[in-house]
Amino acid sequence: FLQESGDDTSRIVAQLPDYTRQYFGIVQNDEELMFANFLCDGADYDWMETAVIIEDGGDCYFQVIFNADANTYLSLSVNGES
């Protein structure tokens, strides 16, 4: 999905195993979805207890929404640069 997104995701793909990840179940338009939050370094955050919301930061932070029933990725959002 990342490689096919059309965005410049080469750094993300190369470093994907190193990202800290948070997973949340969400409901959107009556669909049960998975929201995945990726952080290039989770050490500075209480990510095990709290959803981490970061503005800017570039490709160090990105989010994906996945529909498990349809086995489809719905969105990719890579943070902007400040």
- The per-residue pLDDT for range 18-36, each reduced to its tens digit, is 999 999 999 999 999 999 9
In-domain check, residue 14: yes
Is the backbone of residue 23 left (phi > 0), alpha (psi -120 to 50) or beta? beta
Query: What is the domain range of residue 45?
Result: 10-78
In-domain check, residue 24: yes
Is the backbone of residue 72 left (phi > 0), alpha (psi -120 to 50) or beta? beta
In-domain check, residue 63: yes
In-domain check, residue 4: no
The predicted structure's pLDDT at residue 2: 59
- Please give the model's pTM, rounded to 2 decimal places: 0.81
Answer yes or no: is pLDDT of 42 > 80.
Answer: no
In-domain check, residue 1: no
The predicted structure's pLDDT at residue 20: 94
27/9 Cα distance (integer angstroms)? 27
The predicted structure's pLDDT at residue 75: 92
Answer yes or no: is pLDDT of 8 > 80.
Answer: no
Say how many domains are in the chain.
1
In-domain check, residue 18: yes
